[in-house]
């Protein structure tokens, strides 16, 4: 599972219009917030070919915190990942990026 960013995005490895973002790690903090660490790739294909080939962009978070006290359901891994992807997608859209869900 991941997110596809379809805007033209400048990274330290060049420009892309198919950046792929996935969650590397989630830390739940006292059921009130989550810290999400992400991996950004030039594309899904780049990730598939080498999952260590991460890139950086000033417009995409490598780590971000979200308040989940209002939306917390359970500490189930699947529910937390779905919640984190939803909040991450909303934050990226709020920053002006075009984001699509990508199942992989």
pTM of the model: 0.86
Contact 40, 54 (CB under 8 A): yes
Is residue 49 predicted with pLDDT exceeding 90? yes
The larger pLDDT score, comparing residue 33 to residue 68, is at: 33
Listed by start position, the domains of the chain span 2-96
DSSP state of 59: T
Phi/psi at 19 (5° precision): -60, 140
Over residues 10-38, the pLDDT tens digits come to 999 999 999 999 999 999 887 788 899 99
Flag whether pLDDT at 9 surpasses 70. yes
More confident residue, 51 or 79: 51
């Amino acid at each position: 599972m991941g997110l596809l960013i379809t805007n033209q995005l400048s990274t330290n490895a060049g420009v892309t219009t198919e950046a792929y973002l996935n969650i590397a790690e989630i830390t739940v903090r006292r059921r009130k917030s989550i810290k999400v660490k992400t991996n950004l790739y030039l594309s899904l294909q780049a990730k598939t070919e080498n999952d260590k080939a991460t890139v950086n962009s000033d417009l995409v978070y490598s780590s971000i915190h979200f308040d989940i006290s209002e939306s917390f359901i359970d500490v189930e891994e699947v529910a937390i990942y779905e919640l984190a992807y939803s909040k991450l997608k909303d934050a990226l859209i709020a920053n002006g990026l075009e984001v699509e869900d990508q199942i992989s």
